[in-house]
Amino acid sequence: MAIYQEVARALEQDIRQNFRSGDYLPSEAVLAQRFSINRHTLRRAVDELIDAGMLLRQHGRGTQIIEQAVEYDIASRARFTESVEASGHLAEARVIERKLLTADATLARAMWIAPGSPVQLIETLRSVDGRPVTLISHYLHATALPEIARHYDGGSLHACIGTHYGRRLSRRQGLISAVMPSRRESVLLQFPRNMPLLKVRSNNVCVSSGEVLEYSVARSRCDAFEYRVQPGLEPSPAESTVRLPPRDPNHEH
């Protein structure tokens, strides 16, 4: 890797951890001295990040950081709060609805439970650096997680489940699609109705028992996240069987 590319990677990490959208970078002279390189090499490194859409050079004013999408891993153990804060941002989760449901055939199929089983719905609005970005409907196995609505009041839901029930959750699958926002979603996420949301439906299972404890439907602003999918081990023959997903129990308006 060329020196300017190494500097670009180091500068990118520094920006993600220590700068916010709208901030300006230090001068080229200061950065060149910091990385012990000449200004020509530094300029090539900065050009790499400009081409990547991370920086904007404004003549007479300097080089400005552009608002960036947060990288989020679609992985078995990924959690919203931890993933966002690992990127150097402040994550917040606010509960906006709690409701006890009876699973109909669609929801029962999604959660691998019998129709008529009790399901606790908790809906959370997630924010990054004070900006609402994601609305998540958590459908929770009410029998396995009794009184979860009383215990959970924000932050990481999976951490709450680990603390109060000693259960560790792992994502079994995540299905990604695009959907136009409902009026309610548009208002809550402060997002126009003519732009799509990124929707991720996940089955989260108990690591020890294999039962589905949570079926979640997350709708996120498309300008807020870049989902990263990293291939893992080859699935077993049983896991590789393609199954059509059930209809989304989180009805769009």
Q: What is the DSSP string of 110-163?
A: HHT--TT-EEEEEEEEEEETTEEEEEEEEEEETTTSTTHHHH--SS-HHHHHHH
Cβ–Cβ < 8 Å for 19, 64 = no
Rounded to the nearest angstrom, the gap between the alpha carbon of residue 37 and the centroid of all alpha carbons in its chain is 36
Q: Give the integer Cα–Cα distance in Å for 1 and 135.
A: 40
pLDDT for residue 243 is more than 50: no
- pLDDT of the residue at 235: 44
- Nearest of 140, 133, 1, 155 to residue 70 by alpha carbon: 133
Minimum mean pLDDT range among 25-39, 58-72, 127-141, 194-208: 58-72
Residue of higher predicted confidence among 229 and 180: 180
Q: Look at residue 244 and tell me whether its pLDDT is greater than 70.
A: no
Distance CA 39, CA 62 (A): 14
CA pair distance 79, 72, nearest whole angstrom: 9
Collapsing DSSP states into helix, strand and coil, what is residue 82?
A: helix
Instruction: Note the pLDDT of residue 73.
Output: 66
pLDDT score of 248: 58
pLDDT for 114 equals: 95
Model-wide pTM > 0.85 = no
Q: For position 72, what pLDDT does the model report? A: 66
pLDDT above 70 coverage of the chain, percent: 82
Whether the CB-CB separation of 8 and 2 falls below 8 Å is answered with: no
pLDDT tens digits along 188-215: 998 889 889 999 999 999 999 999 999 9
